Structure 1
């Protein structure tokens, strides 16, 4: 009994731990809040705006501003890009990706220089084309670029020949051929330069694909420009030295404007920067459709700014080419899948936001109406069109 009582007294004397407040371990790293990012639509819109601006800007300088030195203009773009990439490499982290590229003198001579040669040729041919063809027709011809890339891929042994794919891309070719027959201001030398530029660009893209197939040479577009711009600037500069520099005077530069040429180079460089930020922000569907939208907007802009005549046959042929382009890049199954998702999303949006849906439909209808009226404006309001062209810097001469 005494032992039992002793046990009771002993157990009663045991002190219980006092409650304590929870503490934070200072050794544990605090999770950083997510950094604010722009909506993907912002990146896409900036890319479309810059890409379209470069094309319209080049057309204005080379044709309407009478600065008929396409090789010199290309050299200026590449020299500016070389300076800016070197500056960004030393002051920002945008080009840190170059540190993972195992670039040696041997690789530079055997891979970068040949690719740079085709890059230079494609840029030269592309700029020379602006002297002869309209922006609208150039964009129609550029729809054949995937076809040229496909043939270059087969020719270099990067993929086996697939006749089913060949039948798919033939739709693009048929559409462009129809559009070419409908072109009013068809100039053969300009057509040949554009086709040459497409072939050189397709060859360059396949060579870049082969280079990037190795994990040691993975590069984003800005890092690629860091390596390619210097060698391309030298190649184009040497070519311009013999073909165009003897005919160039300071009067030509002052006629265009030093600030205009500087702004042109800045816009061209910002386009490359925008591509870096765009990568990974959107799907292949969005990029394909945005590319088609950009081409259509350029055709419309050419019609409205420079009164470029576009026939019904061209519209018909270009529509066929664009449909073939989307089908080739996405495939029939993907198109059906995306179409089903879009229909369901549109129906759900109509149920939850009926007023906004009606507003979108009315707005789209008005936009199409004004675009059509704007394209026909030269026929019923020539004085107003001339006034707008004067404000935009357009000229009556040149190949609209």
Structure 2
């Protein structure tokens, strides 16, 4: 029986196992999986759930500082931009000194080999141009609208490129010049379409751009050495004192004899404190953004911020924006994105944005319709503003609506 059982069991063919009896790995897991496509955070930086909070904080603070300064200098009629800039830098000087003593946020300065010679030869010249750019930039708010100022600022890459050639920091490149030409053409068209064009304000803004471009090139030359690498907050720790002194001297000669204590109280000490705090927190937010972002995200976030500021200027101050101006600004923004990102990167992000927009429409069709309608209304508003006569000013309609609602403007 034993032989029969043995013989019987031997005659039954066993199926060959298709895989190992005791699998130790998942064969499917060993195969390289293609990465799931995801749109770049900057494309939906305004969407609450998706981007990191640092992006939203940076955009909010950067926009708030510009609008806050315009409100103090223009709406509250405190027409002393140099004093305001001196206050910002003094606030930053005191704050960074306190942070250096009681926090670890400025510990990066310990790795910087800063000597008196380096400070005089490197930090002071950068501080001089930083001071000049701030003075000219704030003077511009007395003459031009926030919307037009942001349009002119689109030429910053052009100014940086040309100044780097003039300073011998980079060899002239015709291809780069052609790449930034669209920015210049767009801003020129926007300037022709500006309804409230003021030459002195325009020249102040160009001067501010030139000084800022020189400052950026000097900073790049300084930071090209590993021993002088520093984050924006450490940079502010070194630059703020010299800038505060320079601006203070200019303010003492130019504006302090004219200002009265009544004008200061009209703005309010608490308002000044909030303004200085907002300007300082902007520098802090940039520090926390470092390491979590890239040049691509900052470029796209910057474009989004500029567009938001133009819209905010139209809503808050009733700034008229002509159709020609909107067309030129669109060209300038497109040229800036192309110059900083390149054609291939733009194609990739555009395709991914289209796919995500389709998925968003499928998931939330009602919200997508609201976005489309809001964009269409904004376009019509800008178009009719551009077709209106040069005396067109939406502020009168906003004031009339406020009176009907019983709200004092």
TM-score (norm 2): 0.81
User: How far 1:388 moved relative to its partner?
Assistant: 8.6
Q: Counterpart of 1:20?
A: none
1:383 aligns with 2:383: no
User: How far 1:345 moved relative to its partner?
Assistant: 4.8
Once the two structures are superposed, what CA deviation does each residue of 1:329-355 show, in whole Å capped at 9, x if it has no partner?
A: 1011211222233345555x46xx933
Match of 2:257, SS state, is helix
CA spacing shift, 1:387–1:333, aligned 2, 3 Å: farther
**1:1-400 to 2 correspondences below 5 Å:** 40-346=51-357, 349=359, 354-356=362-364, 358-369=365-376, 371=378, 382-385=399-402
CA spacing shift, 1:126–1:282, aligned 2, 3 Å: same
CA spacing shift, 1:135–1:386, aligned 2, 3 Å: farther
Once the two structures are superposed, what CA deviation does each residue of 1:370-393 show, in whole Å capped at 9, x if it has no partner?
A: 5457777657665225679966xx
Q: Counterpart of 1:10?
A: none
- Measure the CA separation in 1 of the matches of 2:75 and 2:100: 36
- Measure the CA separation in 2 of the matches of 1:250 and 1:308: 31
The answer to whether the Cα contact below 8 Å between 2:317 and 2:395 also exists between their aligned partners in 1 is no
Once the two structures are superposed, what CA deviation does each residue of 1:284-313 show, in whole Å capped at 9, x if it has no partner?
A: 222211111111111111111111111111
Match of 1:191, SS state, is helix
- Measure the CA separation in 2 of the matches of 1:310 and 1:248: 33
CA spacing shift, 1:234–1:141, aligned 2, 3 Å: same
The answer to whether the Cα contact below 8 Å between 2:299 and 2:340 also exists between their aligned partners in 1 is yes
Once the two structures are superposed, what CA deviation does each residue of 1:248-290 show, in whole Å capped at 9, x if it has no partner?
A: 1111100111111111000000000011111121232222111
Root-mean-square deviation (CA), in Å? 2.2
- Measure the CA separation in 1 of the matches of 2:124 and 2:195: 39
Once the two structures are superposed, what CA deviation does each residue of 1:90-134 show, in whole Å capped at 9, x if it has no partner?
A: 111111100000000000000000000000000000000000111
TM-score (norm 1): 0.83
- Measure the CA separation in 2 of the matches of 1:40 and 1:115: 34
- Measure the CA separation in 2 of the matches of 1:89 and 1:70: 28
The answer to whether the Cα contact below 8 Å between 1:378 and 1:385 also exists between their aligned partners in 2 is no
The answer to whether the Cα contact below 8 Å between 1:304 and 1:374 also exists between their aligned partners in 2 is no
CA spacing shift, 1:306–1:166, aligned 2, 3 Å: same
- Measure the CA separation in 1 of the matches of 2:85 and 2:108: 26
- Measure the CA separation in 2 of the matches of 1:388 and 1:243: 42
Q: Counterpart of 2:42?
A: none
The answer to whether the Cα contact below 8 Å between 1:78 and 1:230 also exists between their aligned partners in 2 is yes
Match of 1:185, SS state, is coil
Once the two structures are superposed, what CA deviation does each residue of 1:167-221 show, in whole Å capped at 9, x if it has no partner?
A: 1101000000011011111111110000000000000000000000000000100
Unaligned runs of 5+ in 1: 1-37, 395-400
Once the two structures are superposed, what CA deviation does each residue of 1:25-69 show, in whole Å capped at 9, x if it has no partner?
A: xxxxxxxxxxxxx97431111111111110011011111111111
